[in-house]
Each structure stands twice: as structure tokens, then as C-alpha cells.
Amino acid sequence: MQRFADLVLRRAARDTRGAVLVEFALCLPVLLILYSGGCCVSDMLAASRKVTIATRSLVDLTSRSLSPSIVYNDPSSINGRSYLSASAVVLSPYKLDKAEQEVSLVRVCDATHAFVVWTQAQTQNADGSTVTPVDSSVTAGTLPTNEAQSASSVIAVPANMISPSMVPVSPDGTNVCGNLAPGTSTKTQVGTAGGWLYMGKVRYDFTPSVGFVPITTTRMTHTLFMTPRLF
């Protein structure tokens, strides 16, 4: 009996016909994770690119269509819904209800800051047929009303977007960004002088389509400034 058992064991030790199948079974989970992870990362890069293109579309459309002087003189009458909705369509086939679009008009007050004149933001349902206003990430001032403005309406702007000719000069030499009170003959009030810029921003919450991939929901945000085509 012992001899028979030894014979069976020696034969099993020499038999390698199932080794490949066992090795494949061991490697399969790792291969699936690598494949799914690669697909997820590729999808994430594509979504990020879509967000960038949507932002550019938004600010480009707005800068070509809305005159800064008209927006400044009556900001409450301006509706940028059509431009915001058009930029949302660019995100397709990604879920539109996971995205927010925002556009703002700002007026330069020094070499790295600007005053928010007007802003509007929205989101929408999955197919874009229903629009819902949301809070902007910036706070618009109350100009042209003749009253003191809030410092929260002054935002940072990339220095490479502002040329020296866009920066307003106050008669008393003060930084216009800090002149929040109504202007006088010696002070230029913030938001009443300086060059114009449109700011577009798109936010998108990306969630991997494969649940077991170790990548959580990621908020993608892209901001772009552009000079207006109209004055």
C-alpha cells in the first residue's frame, strides 16, 4: 500500500499539465485590477480634457457676445444661461448633473487682482433639459451703485493675464483694489476703472465607472481668463 502511495505521489509531482491553469488563476485578479485601473485612469484623463474644453468654450462664447460696458451698467439684467448651457453640452457624454458652470466679468484693479462686476453659475439634470442656479465661487460687487464695496469682491488673477495698460491709477497713488469707498477727486474706487476680463470656471465630479478601483470621486476644476472681444 505504501509503495502504491509513493508511486502516485511521484507521478503527481512529475505531472505539470495543470500548472498553467493554476498560475493563470493566481494572476487573473491582478490582471483584472491592472486592466480596470488603466481604463479608469484613461477615462479620468478624458474627463479632465472635456472640462478644459468646456471651460474654454464658455469663456470664449461669453467674451464674444457680451459687452463689458453693458454688463457693468446693468449687471442684474444680464443672463448668461445660454452660454453656460452651451458649455455643458461640450461635456457630453459625461453626466451633466455632475457638473457646474460659472462665468464672471471682472475689472482689473492692480497687477494681480480684479473686482468681480457680475457672476452667474448653474448646474442641470443629466440630459441638460432642466437648469438650476447655484452659488458662484466668487462674490459680485454692487457697482454701479454709488456705495462702498466689499473686499470679498476682489479676487486674485494670474499676473500674466494683466498688462500695465490694464491697471488703473488712483490720483493719490493708492492701490485701487483697496479703495472700497465711493470714489472722490483724489481716489479711484475699485471696479470703476481698469481693464476687463471674463473668467470661466467648470467643475465636474468624476466617479469611476468600476466600483472596485481604488479611486474615489474626484472634483475636477478648470478656470480660464480671457479678454473680451466687445467693449
206: left (phi over 0), alpha (psi -120 to 50) or beta: beta
Task: Look at 8-22, 112-126, 145-159, 197-211 and tell me which has the smallest mean pLDDT.
Answer: 8-22
Helix (H) or strand (E) holding 225: strand 218-226
Give the pLDDT score at 38: 74
Among residues 98, 85, 122, 81, the alpha carbon closest in space to that of 47 is found at 98
**Which grid coordinates are listed for 41?**
485612469
- The pLDDT score that the predictor gives to residue 4 is 59
pLDDT at 13: 57
Average pLDDT over residues 196-222: 85
> Which H or E run includes 35?
helix 19-65
pLDDT of residue 3: 65
Structure confidence at residue 16 (pLDDT): 60
Q: What is the pLDDT of residue 42?
A: 84
What is the rounded average pLDDT of the residues 195-222?
A: 85
pLDDT at 29: 74
pTM to 2 decimals? 0.83
Note whether 142 and 175 are within 8 A (CB). Answer: no
Out of 4-8, 35-39, 79-83, 201-205, which region has the weakest mean confidence (pLDDT)? 4-8
Question: What pLDDT digit, counting tens, does each position of 18-74 carry?
Answer: 666 777 777 777 777 677 677 777 888 999 999 999 999 999 999 999 999 999 999
Percent of the chain with pLDDT over 70: 86
d(CA 222, CA 89): 16
Rounded to 10°, the helix 81-90/19-65 angle is: 160
| Cα distance between residue 227 and residue 230, in whole Å | 9
pLDDT in tens, 4-17: 555 655 665 565 66
